[in-house]
Amino acid sequence: MKVLLISGFDWANVGKSFEIALKSVGEEAKSICFDLHSLLPEEHSELVNSEETLREYLTWCDIILLMHSASFKLNTNKPMFVFHGGTTYREHHKELNEVFNPRVSASIIQTYDLLGLGAENEKWVIPPIERMPSAFTEDNHIAFAHYPRDPAFKGSADINYAMYEMQSMLSYDELYRLDYDYSSERVSKAENLKRISLCDVYIESQYRAVDWGVTALEAAAMGKVVITQFAGYGAYENEFGPCPILHANDLKQLGKRIEQVLEMSHDEILALQTEHWQWVQDCHSYTAVGERLKGILCE
């Protein structure tokens, strides 16, 4: 099976990550785009700037996956799929369904809130996360952290309030267990991952509960306990299986999750961190996502 993944602009490098995932399970794949982000990761989709190159790829492939709800007039009758993964589909799903539903065999949906909006033959696929070295709690001191790129979008004010409230409630003897680091400084992805690697518990979001966010998966992939909002928790477990992330969909639940972690012994926290790390490897690694994509595209 030869899969061509086509993006206008490959947001969050998802097209490239799907290419790598498919290759990891033995399939041929190529991700291309017509525009490049100024801050590129080492591996990214190939920039195509000629019709001749596009025609060559269309001749080469067996299956086409249109990424990021991007509609192109392609001169081909080959099987076609679409990936809906963000604001464009969220705000314009009715119009996009009219365009894509008659053309595609299935619609790959990235986030819980985009399911049920009328796309043809919906399939839920969460982009893969890179395997990261584990870094687990070494002592009885628990370091919480929250590093938003956009504090307003992550509900950082509520997270900070919950952490400071918890600190004010602890006795002097209990307080030594808890440390909280917050920064909204915009840093590179590599620098952000480095500072997340130093904490034990990462709090992702208290803004909207539809998804847990890429950073939550990255933190879990490093062996961090993750606390975040996720309204689709039950639906996720029905689709993918058990999920160890501690979901908290309001401030009251967030406070209880923080308290829950503080009441754990060192061994219990270590076990939960290990469970987070293993979950990412089993369910959201390149191989796991590659198998899921392969099953959809070959259905």
Q: What pLDDT is recorded for position 190?
A: 84
Topology, domain 2-127+286-297: Rossmann fold (3.40.50)
Sign of the dihedral through C-alpha 202, 164, 260, 269: positive
Q: What distance in Å separates the CA atoms of residue 118 and residue 68, rounded to the nearest whole number?
A: 16
In the prediction, which pLDDT does 39 show? 59
pLDDT per residue over 226-258, tens digit each?
A: 999 998 999 999 999 999 999 999 999 999 999
Residue spans of the domains in the chain: they are 2-127+286-297, 142-283
In one-letter notation, the amino acid at residue 105 is S
| Region 142-283: CATH code | 3.40.50.2000
User: How far, in whole angstroms, is CA 14 from its chain's centroid?
Assistant: 10
What span, in angstroms and rounded, lies between the C-alpha atoms of 94 and 77? 24
Tell me, what DSSP letter sits at residue 127?
Answer: P
Confirm whether 2-127+286-297 and 142-283 share one CATH topology: yes
* pLDDT by 10-residue block (mean), the chain, 299 residues: 95 93 98 80 85 95 96 90 93 96 97 95 94 78 93 93 90 80 91 92 87 87 94 92 94 94 92 94 95 94
Q: How far is CA 100 from CA 120, 176, 247, in A?
A: 8, 56, 34
pLDDT at position 38: 61
